[in-house]
């Protein structure tokens, strides 16, 4: 009996496990907010707008620069796998970039480390060219898988950039120790660079070397910002409101705990 597992507490009313009630209500409130704001946005009612994100606003400018110079646009989706949140958040941006490049007949070279991500990116770019009515302009050789190795991929990208000298360098996704290597190479070549990642250890390198950087969760809001889809916009707004509520509760709770308000409240209601 010394090593017996502790007994699992019985849920209250078959739903609420001891110690998990607050989490349940937080998730319930988040779901309710998402539903309400998605419905409002979907029916055309007013919802708070997403503030301007300079990095996303400048994508067209960066592609236009490459078009005027007759050079390519490079898009790196990073080293994350197909299930990585940063990779998934990067795909809507890639679709928008591919559509814009196809529209202006600007060469787009997209590079990958993960072979599964490569397959998804290839299909996204192919469908983007079809969507703008230029399927014949799609070149599968411009969507490239280099290596499963982090440094093998990074070295291959450096080689490509040194040979072809693209005018614009987009880096949206999961990045690690190779961040400064890729970003500095683009800066040396004079590329206009826009990047984004949620890895807080790598954001400073992007800030130092890129023209625009998406900071943290701005990358996750990109799909709603670019597509203007009412459901996605409503979801982002609901999440931000939930964050503000949690911050307010944390602040009030901290003040109460500092002045030991729990004892005062118990005495108040005991009278």
Q: Give me the residue spans of the domains in the chain.
A: 54-226
Indicate the range of 28-37, 65-74, 224-233 predicted with least confidence: 224-233
**85 contacts 182 by C-beta, under 8 angstroms:** no
**203 contacts 215 by C-beta, under 8 angstroms:** yes
Task: Give the pLDDT score at 173.
Answer: 94
- What does the DSSP 8-state code read for residue 201? T
Residue 89 has pLDDT above 70, yes or no: yes
Residue 5 has pLDDT above 60, yes or no: no
Indicate the range of 89-103, 160-174, 177-191, 248-262 predicted with least confidence: 248-262
> 241: burial class by Cβ within 10 Å (0-12, 13-18, 19+)?
middle
Q: Is 268 left (phi over 0), alpha (psi -120 to 50) or beta?
A: alpha
Band of residue 1 on the pLDDT scale cut at 50, 70, 90: very low
Contacts of 215 (CB under 8 A, 6+ apart): 196, 203
Residue 68 has pLDDT above 70, yes or no: yes
Which pTM was predicted?
Answer: 0.82
Band of residue 120 on the pLDDT scale cut at 50, 70, 90: very high
The domain at 54-226 falls in which architecture? 3-Layer(aba) Sandwich (3.40)
Residue 13 has pLDDT above 70, yes or no: no
Task: Give the pLDDT score at 189.
Answer: 94
Q: Which residues of 25-64 are buried (b: 16+ CB within 10 A; e: fewer)?
A: eeeeebeebbeebbebbeeeeebeebeebebbebbeebbb
| CA 175 – CA 256 distance, rounded (Å) | 41
Residue 39 has pLDDT above 90, yes or no: no
pLDDT tens profile 185-235: 999 999 999 999 999 999 999 999 999 999 988 898 888 888 777 878 888
Task: Give the pLDDT score at 60.
Answer: 93
Task: Give the pLDDT score at 265.
Answer: 64
Residue 83 has pLDDT above 90, yes or no: yes
Task: Give the pLDDT score at 138.
Answer: 95
């Amino acid at each position: 009996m010394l090593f017996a597992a502790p007994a699992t507490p019985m849920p209250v009313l078959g739903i609420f496990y001891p110690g998990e009630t607050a989490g349940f209500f937080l998730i319930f409130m988040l779901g309710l907010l998402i539903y309400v704001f998605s419905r409002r946005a979907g029916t055309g009612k007013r919802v708070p707008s997403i503030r301007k994100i300079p990095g996303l606003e400048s994508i067209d400018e960066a592609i236009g620069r490459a078009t005027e110079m007759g050079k390519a646009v490079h898009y790196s989706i990073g080293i994350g796998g197909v299930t990585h949140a940063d990779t998934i958040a990067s795909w809507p941006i890639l679709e928008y970039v591919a559509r814009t490049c196809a529209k202006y007949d600007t060469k787009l070279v997209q590079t990958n480390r993960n072979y599964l991500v490569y397959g998804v990116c290839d299909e996204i770019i192919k469908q983007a060219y079809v969507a703008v009515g230029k399927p014949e302009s799609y070149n599968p050789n411009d969507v490239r898988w280099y290596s499963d190795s982090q440094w093998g991929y990074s070295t291959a990208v450096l080689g490509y950039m040194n040979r072809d000298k693209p005018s614009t360098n987009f880096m949206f996704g999961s990045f690690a120790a190779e961040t400064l290597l890729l970003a500095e190479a683009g800066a040396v070549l004079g590329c206009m660079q826009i990047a984004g990642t949620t890895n807080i250890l790598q954001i400073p390198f992007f800030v130092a070397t890129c023209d625009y950087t998406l900071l943290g969760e701005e990358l996750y809001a990109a799909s709603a910002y670019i597509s203007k889809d009412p459901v996605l916009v409503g979801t982002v707004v609901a999440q931000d409101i939930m964050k503000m509520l949690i911050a307010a509760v944390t602040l009030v709770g901290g003040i109460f705990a500092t002045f030991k308000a729990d004892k005062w409240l118990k005495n108040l209601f005991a009278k």
